[in-house]
Amino acid sequence: SAVISQKPSRDICQRGTSLTIQCQVDSQVTMMFWYRQQPGQSLTLIATANQGSEATYESGFVIDKFPISRPNLTFSTLTVSNMSPEDSSIYLCSVYPASREQFFGPGTRLTVL
């Protein structure tokens, strides 16, 4: 397994501002992902964070709104840009360590006023 931490754990932000969420893993992993979980909903994949290249975004998510960095094999950031109340969600990072299972961080609970 892998130990994953996220910062911040929660935040309340004003409309129009941006928030950067950090994800740190205790070991080097090839694959890192970012998910969104809207209130009362399931998890939806935002993008795959690729080390050394641009992230790969899923349909409905764009780089201008959710820029992602992956400077090394243990760290990634997701920025939620120009926020609106509809962006209020839990944002989760996940990783594939050496095993075949995907593990999740504790999540960042974002509220946009």
Partner 1 sequence: GQQLNQSPQSMFIQEGEDVSMNCTSSSIFNTWLWYKQDPGEGPVLLIALYKAGELTSNGRLTAQFGITRKDSFLNISASIPSDVGIYFCAGQSYNTDKLIFGTGTRLQVFP
Instruction: Give residues in contact with partner 1 (CB under 8 A).
Output: 1, 4, 31, 33, 41-45, 48, 58-60, 92, 96, 100-107, 109
Under 8 Å CB-to-CB from 98, ≥6 apart: which residues? none
For the bound state, the minimum distance from the C-beta of residue 58 to partner 1, rounded and expressed in Å, comes to 6
The SS3 of residue 44 is strand
Task: Considering only CA atoms, give the Rg of the chain.
Answer: 13
CA atoms of 24 and 71, how far apart (whole Å): 11
Minimum CB distance to partner 1 smaller for 6 or for 74: 6
Minimum CB distance to partner 1 smaller for 74 or for 108: 108
For the bound state, the minimum distance from the C-beta of residue 15 to partner 1, rounded and expressed in Å, comes to 24
Minimum CB distance to partner 1 smaller for 33 or for 66: 33
CA atoms of 113 and 96, how far apart (whole Å): 34
For the bound state, the minimum distance from the C-beta of residue 53 to partner 1, rounded and expressed in Å, comes to 15
CA atoms of 61 and 73, how far apart (whole Å): 23
Minimum CB distance to partner 1 smaller for 14 or for 42: 42
For the bound state, the minimum distance from the C-beta of residue 67 to partner 1, rounded and expressed in Å, comes to 20
Structure token digits, residue 87: 């962006």
